C-alpha cells in the first residue's frame, strides 16, 4: 500500500506516451547494474533481485560476472543475466540495448555503480590514469544516464540510481580527481532529479562513506587514516539503505548514522577547515609516500 502511494506521488505529473508503452509491451522490465561483479554493485544487484526484479549484471570480466549472475538466480526467484561490457566505450549503450532486446528485456532501472579511484597527490598520477577515471566515473555514467532517461520519461516509469560517494560533498586533497568525479555525480543527479520530479521516474544518488570492499586497497588508500578512523559499512548494509532510499524517492541517500552526520558537516564547514583535515585523512601512508610516487612517476 505504501509503495503504491509513493508511486502515485512520484508520478503525479506523469504523461506516459502510448507509443512508448506499446514499443516495450512485448518485453520484460529489468534492472541493469554496472560494476556488478563484486562489492557494492553486486550487493545492489542482489538487493533489487530480492525485491523481485530481474537483473542484468554489467562488468568487463565475464568469469566473475557469470558466477555472480548464476548465484543470484539460485538465491532468488528472478532471472539474472551477465552482460560483459566495457561501459567506457562510446557504443556501450547501444550494445546494452542489443543485449537486452535479444533476451526479451528493456532497461527499466539503471544503477550506475562502475567506478575507479586514485589516491595520492594529483600531479603524481599519470595522464592515462586520470583520463580513465574520468571516462568511467563521469563520461560513461553520463552517457548511460542520458541514453536511458528519455525512454523512462516517455513510459513514465523506471529510475536511475547513481553511486557517488560521501567524498562528492567536499574537495578531497590526496584523492582530488576521485572526489571531483563524485561531486559531478552528486550535482548531476540532484539537478536532473529536480528536473524530472513528478514524472514517474525515480532519480537518486547514493553517497556512501567507506564500505568494506577491496576498492580502497585497489586505489592505494588502504593505509590512509580514514580507513582506521571511520567505521566501514558492509556492502549489504549499504545496498539495503540504497534500495530503501530509492523506493522512498530520496534524491540523496547517505547510508549509516555516522555518515549522515559527516554529510551534514561536509555541507556546513568551510573549505578552509575541510581541506587540511580531509587531506590528512586521505594521505596514502605506509607503502606509498609522496617521494615514492614522484620516483615512480619519473
In the prediction, which pLDDT does 285 show?
A: 78
Q: Residue 244 pLDDT more than 70?
A: yes
In the prediction, which pLDDT does 218 show?
A: 86
Read off the pLDDT band of 286 (50, 70, 90): low
Instruction: Tell me which residue of 78, 77, 80, 96 sits closest to 88, measured CA to CA.
Output: 96
In the prediction, which pLDDT does 295 show?
A: 36
Q: What is the mean pLDDT of the chain?
A: 94
User: What's the rounded mean pLDDT across residues 226-250?
Assistant: 94
CB 224 within 8 A of CB 247: no
pTM of the full structure:
0.93
Q: How many CB atoms lie within 10 A of CB 57?
A: 29
pLDDT tens for residues 133-142? 999 999 999 9
pLDDT tens for residues 259-282? 999 999 999 999 999 999 999 999
Q: Residue 289 pLDDT more than 50?
A: no
In the prediction, which pLDDT does 288 show?
A: 43
Classify each residue of 97-122 as buried b or exposed e, where b means 16 or more C-beta atoms within 10 Å of its C-beta. bebbeebebbbbbbbbbbbbbbbbbe
Q: What's the distance, CA 146 to chain centroid? A: 15
Instruction: Tell me which residue of 78, 85, 4 sits closest to 46, measured CA to CA.
Output: 78
> In the annotation, is 246 catalytic?
no
Catalytic residue among 178, 179, 226, 246: 178
Homologous superfamily of domain range 2-203+216-297: NAD(P)-binding Rossmann-like Domain (3.40.50.720)
pLDDT tens for residues 65-102? 999 999 999 999 999 999 999 999 999 999 999 999 99
Read off the pLDDT band of 222 (50, 70, 90): confident
In the prediction, which pLDDT does 298 show?
A: 33
User: What's the rounded mean pLDDT across residues 195-207?
Assistant: 98
Q: Residue 290 pLDDT more than 80?
A: no
In the prediction, which pLDDT does 89 show?
A: 98
Amino acid at each position: 500500500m505504501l509503495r503504491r502511494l509513493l508511486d502515485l506521488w512520484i508520478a503525479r505529473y506523469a504523461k506516459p506516451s502510448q507509443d512508448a508503452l506499446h514499443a516495450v509491451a512485448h518485453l520484460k522490465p529489468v534492472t541493469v547494474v554496472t560494476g556488478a561483479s563484486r562489492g557494492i554493485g553486486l550487493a545492489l544487484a542482489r538487493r533489487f533481485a530480492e525485491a523481485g526484479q530481474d537483473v542484468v549484471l554489467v562488468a568487463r570480466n565475464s568469469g566473475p560476472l557469470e558466477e555472480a549472475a548464476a548465484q543470484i538466480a539460485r538465491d532468488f526467484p528472478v532471472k539474472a543475466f551477465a552482460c560483459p561490457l566495457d561501459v567506457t566505450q562510446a557504443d556501450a549503450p547501444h550494445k546494452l540495448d542489443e543485449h537486452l532486446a535479444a533476451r526479451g528485456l528493456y532497461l527499466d532501472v539503471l544503477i550506475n555503480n562502475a567506478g575507479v579511484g586514485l589516491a595520492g597527490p594529483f600531479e603524481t598520477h599519470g595522464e592515462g590514469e586520470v583520463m580513465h577515471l574520468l571516462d568511467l566515473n563521469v563520461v560513461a555514467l553520463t552517457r548511460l544516464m542520458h541514453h536511458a532517461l528519455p525512454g523512462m520519461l516517455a513510459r513514465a516509469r523506471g529510475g536511475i540510481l547513481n553511486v557517488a560517494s560521501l567524498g562528492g560533498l567536499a574537495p578531497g586533497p590526496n584523492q582530488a580527481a576521485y572526489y571531483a568525479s563524485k561531486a559531478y555525480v552528486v550535482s548531476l543527479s540532484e539537478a536532473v532529479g529536480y528536473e524530472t520530479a513528478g514524472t514517474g521516474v525515480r532519480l537518486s544518488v547514493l553517497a556512501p562513506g567507506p564500505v568494506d570492499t577491496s576498492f580502497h586497497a585497489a586505489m592505494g588508500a588502504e593505509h590512509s587514516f580514514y580507513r582506521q578512523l571511520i567505521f566501514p559499512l558492509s556492502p549489504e548494509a549499504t545496498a539495503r539503505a540504497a534500495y530503501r532510499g530509492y523506493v522512498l524517492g530520496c534524491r540523496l541517500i547517505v547510508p549509516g548514522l555516522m555518515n549522515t552526520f559527516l554529510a551534514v558537516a561536509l555541507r556546513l564547514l568551510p573549505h578552509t577547515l575541510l581541506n587540511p583535515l580531509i587531506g590528512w585523512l586521505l594521505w596514502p601512508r605506509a607503502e606509498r609516500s609522496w617521494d615514492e610516487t614522484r620516483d615512480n612517476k619519473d
